[in-house]
Amino acid sequence: MTSDAALPIEITVQDLEALRSRDASFVLLDVRETEEYQTARIEGSKLLPMSEIQQRLPELEEHRNDHIVVQCHHGGRSMQVTQFLRAQGFDNAQNLAGGIDQWSVQIDPSVPRY
């Protein structure tokens, strides 16, 4: 992928919902801690806590060229992970702006807020 065709570093919750509604192929990577994931999660997300990302990076190798949407609670940790992944050559990684909290507020109120 050329740099001028790269995906923006962030994606909105509305854009994520559009991806899901058209069954687009992407990986939804949840980088919160296990306790947070057990409290609230977006259906279909894969848990890989930020605290474990460096050790567990090989688990993502099969997704190197896939679209990866990284999410956390409000978007701060996921932005750090998105930047880390891009630095490792995962050019299609995007941060979910506002995280699961915005997802709950704007898209799916059945997802608990905390």
Say if 1 falls within a structural domain.
no
Q: Is 73 a catalytic residue?
A: no
pLDDT band at 15 (very low <50, low <70, confident <90, very high): very high
Give the 3-state DSSP-derived string for 3-52, with helices as H, strands as E and coil as C. HHHCCCCEECHHHHHHHHHCCCCCEEEECCCHHHHHHCCCCCCEECCHHH
Domain assignment of residue 2, yes or no:
no
User: Is there a domain that residue 113 lies in?
Assistant: no
pTM of the full predicted structure? 0.94
pLDDT bracket for residue 3 (50, 70, 90)? very low
pLDDT in tens, 54-94: 999 999 999 999 999 999 999 999 999 999 999 999 999 99
State the residue range of the domain holding 42.
7-106
- The verdict on residue 111 lying in a domain is no
Q: At 82, which CATH number?
A: 3.40.250.10
CB 73 within 8 A of CB 36: yes
> What is residue 69's three-state secondary structure?
strand
The more confidently predicted of residues 4 and 83 is 83
Task: Give the rounded distance of the alpha carbon of 42 from its chain centre.
Answer: 10
112 belongs to a structural domain:
no
Count structural domains, the chain. 1
Selected catalytic residue, list 72, 85, 97, 100: 72
Non-local (6+) Cβ contacts of 57 within 8 A are 88
The C-alpha torsion from 26 through 5 and 87 to 19, rounded to 10°, is -20
Asked if residue 50 belongs to a domain, the reply is yes
Rounded Cα–Cα distance for residues 47 and 45 (Å): 6
